[in-house]
């Protein structure tokens, strides 16, 4: 299939809306053996175009799952899988998860039929340890690590040299129908530029990958908002390698998994060895702005409640000073350079995270922060001096009011329910980035139970600074 180009190597990226109704169903929901397409194929035209593209092209396709949007390619062809790494700018030693439409497809990738008394007899190659999880959580946001048989049907780039591969069955009729039409498992990491926040809408995918891929299937916003949980049941005790849409507590309720342990770290894992699962080794989910995470923040534990000058956190003052030093080189006047502060609140912080201590004015849908406070301020010894403060000034400083605007403040509330926080996390980071903020203050949550561990895992990987 020839690729359409606008000029050079830049591709024309199209978003194809999909009618998500009547896209298919399992022949038997209890066994998950076979995904069947509807007899009326009128709603499948965009999917059929994308499936043909996946079979004949090495350029991946963006498509939605229940967790995040994936960037899919034929997992059995090396050139197609390499197309994922190229589009994302992703290191090739980071393994990929494959997505299957039914258990028949998964079994075809594992051990072939075995001989019993000279007769071919099909033995179920899916390890028994995973049967309770598959019954409980598939289709859904759970990835299992499986032994990769030799010779393998999968392209070696999928496993990054590991003897195992990760597989999941997404809980999305659109994704399952696409895989079924393509007739091959799809290697599909999140459809974002490497290290950037995962996409939960088709527009997010286009923002990151426009000109690098041709087709994005639009099935609306993703429901879960964070990627799948990754588990390894091939070791004893079994391990959760990446927290995600299924909590460790729910996994422990399944037969054979009561002793499952946490096997992931919340900061980038360094070293020469390939990670055992996606998302373990490299810094992920980071917007362009500096991210300051407040772990399990209380109502009082806010950016404006820590070391501040005039109600402004020291991290913000560092940015103000840095911009002030750049003004002569940029040819800007003072009033042209206010920094932008983004705030993502969850359960406890008051509106605007306590920045009401500063002087404010209203400008459209933003609050504007101005220099000045009539009350005496105690400037911490380790703080950065005010941009206009004379050398040797006393540690107690009482500035005059000023109309000089130094910052715009943009707040996004993620709600107090963990499910809502997970659903809106990546979208909020992207929104603040697109609004050009210089620093993002994020209110963390307790990372116990539900998918809170996944939320905090992603935030810690996104953070530049973590406040305990």
Q: Encode pLDDT of 205-227 as tens digits.
A: 999 999 999 999 999 999 998 89
Quick one: pLDDT band at residue 447, thresholds 50, 70, 90? confident
According to DSSP H, which parts of 156-227 are helical?
Answer: 156-159, 173-182, 202-209
Quick one: pLDDT band at residue 449, thresholds 50, 70, 90? low
Residue 421 and residue 344 in contact, taking contact as beta carbons nearer than 8 Å? no
Note the pLDDT of residue 299.
Answer: 54
Quick one: pLDDT band at residue 265, thresholds 50, 70, 90? low
Percent above pLDDT 70 for the chain:
70
User: What are the tens digits of pLDDT across the range 108-132?
Assistant: 999 754 444 555 556 899 999 999 9
Note the pLDDT of residue 410.
Answer: 80
36-49 mean pLDDT: 89
351-368 mean pLDDT: 53
Quick one: pLDDT band at residue 1, thresholds 50, 70, 90? very low
Give the chain's domains with CATH numbers.
5-262 (3.90.870.10), 290-467 (3.40.50.11030)
144-165 mean pLDDT: 94
Note the pLDDT of residue 195.
Answer: 80
User: 3-state DSSP call for residue 321?
Assistant: helix
Higher confidence at residue 337 or residue 300? 300
Asked whether the whole model's pTM tops 0.75, one would answer yes
Which letter does DSSP use for residue 354 in this model?
G
Strand order in the sheet with 366-370: 359-363, 366-370, 405-413, 339-345, 439-443, 290-294, 465-467
Residue 6 has pLDDT above 50, yes or no: no
Task: Verify cis geometry, omega within 30 degrees of 0, for the bond prior to 151.
Answer: yes
Which residues does residue 35 pair with via DSSP β-bridges, in sequence order? 26
Mean pLDDT estimate for the chain: 78
97's tokens: 């998860």
Compute CA distances 150 → 22, 78, 154, 173, 224, whole Å.
38, 16, 10, 31, 35
User: 3-state DSSP call for residue 16?
Assistant: strand
246's tokens: 């299924």
Q: How far apart, in whole angstroms, are the C-alpha atoms of residue 421 and residue 321?
A: 33
User: What are the tens digits of pLDDT across the range 273-311?
Assistant: 555 555 444 455 678 888 889 886 555 567 766 665 555
Residue 362 has pLDDT above 90, yes or no: no
Quick one: pLDDT band at residue 383, thresholds 50, 70, 90? very low
User: What are the tens digits of pLDDT across the range 159-191?
Assistant: 988 999 999 999 999 999 999 999 999 999 999
Residue 316 has pLDDT above 80, yes or no: no
Contacts of 136 (CB under 8 A, 6+ apart): 250, 254
Note the pLDDT of residue 382.
Answer: 29
Higher confidence at residue 55 or residue 424? 55
- Percent helix, percent strand, percent coil in the chain, to nearest 5: 30, 25, 50
Residue 225 and residue 420 in contact, taking contact as beta carbons nearer than 8 Å? no
Q: What are phi and psi of 157, to 5 degrees?
A: -65, -20
């Amino acid at each position: 299939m020839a690729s359409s180009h606008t000029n050079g190597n830049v591709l024309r990226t199209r978003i194809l809306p999909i009618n998500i109704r009547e896209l298919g169903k399992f022949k038997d929901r209890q066994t998950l053996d076979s995904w069947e397409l509807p007899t009326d194929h009128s709603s499948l035209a965009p999917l059929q175009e994308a499936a043909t593209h996946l079979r004949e092209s090495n350029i991946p396709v963006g498509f939605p799952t229940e967790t995040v949007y994936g960037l899919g390619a034929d997992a059995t062809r090396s050139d197609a899988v390499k197309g994922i790494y190229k589009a994302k700018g992703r290191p090739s030693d980071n393994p990929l998860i494959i997505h299957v439409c039914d258990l028949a497809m998964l079994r075809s990738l594992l051990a072939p039929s075995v001989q019993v008394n000279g007769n071919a007899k099909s033995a179920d190659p899916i390890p028994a340890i995973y049967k309770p999880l598959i019954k409980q959580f598939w289709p859904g946001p759970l990835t299992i690590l499986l032994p990769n048989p030799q010779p393998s049907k999968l392209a070696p780039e999928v496993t990054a040299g590991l003897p195992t591969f990760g597989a999941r069955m997404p809980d999305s009729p659109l994704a399952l129908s696409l895989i079924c039409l393509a007739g091959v498992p799809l290697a599909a990491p999140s459809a974002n530029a490497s290290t950037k926040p995962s996409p939960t809408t088709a527009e997010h995918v286009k923002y990151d990958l426009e000109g690098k891929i041709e087709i994005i299937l639009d099935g609306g916003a993703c429901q879960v908002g964070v990627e799948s949980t990754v588990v390894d049941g091939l070791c004893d005790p079994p391990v959760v390698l990446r927290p995600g849409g299924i909590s460790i507590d729910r996994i422990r309720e399944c037969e054979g998994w009561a002793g499952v342990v946490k096997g992931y770290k919340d900061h980038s894992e360094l070293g020469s060895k390939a990670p055992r699962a996606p998302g373990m080794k490299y810094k992920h989910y980071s917007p362009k702005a500096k991210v300051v995470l407040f772990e399990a923040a209380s109502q009082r534990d806010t950016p404006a409640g820590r070391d501040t000058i005039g109600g402004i956190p020291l991290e913000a003052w560092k940015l103000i000073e840095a911009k002030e030093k750049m003004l002569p080189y940029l040819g800007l006047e003072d009033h042209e350079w206010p920094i932008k502060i983004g705030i993502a609140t969850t359960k406890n912080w008051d509106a605007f995270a306590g920045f009401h201590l500063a002087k404010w004015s209203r400008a459209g849908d933003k609050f504007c922060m101005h220099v000045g406070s009539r009350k005496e301020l105690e400037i911490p010894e380790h703080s950065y001096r005010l941009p206009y403060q004379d050398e040797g000034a006393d540690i107690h400083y009482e500035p005059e009011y000023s109309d000089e605007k130094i910052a715009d403040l943009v707040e996004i509330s993620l709600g107090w329910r963990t499910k809502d926080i997970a659903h809106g996390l990546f979208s909020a980071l992207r929104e603040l980035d697109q609004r050009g903020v210089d620093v993002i203050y994020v209110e963390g949550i307790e990372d116990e139970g539900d998918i809170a561990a996944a939320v905090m895992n992603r935030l810690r990987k996104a953070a530049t600074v973590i406040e305990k």
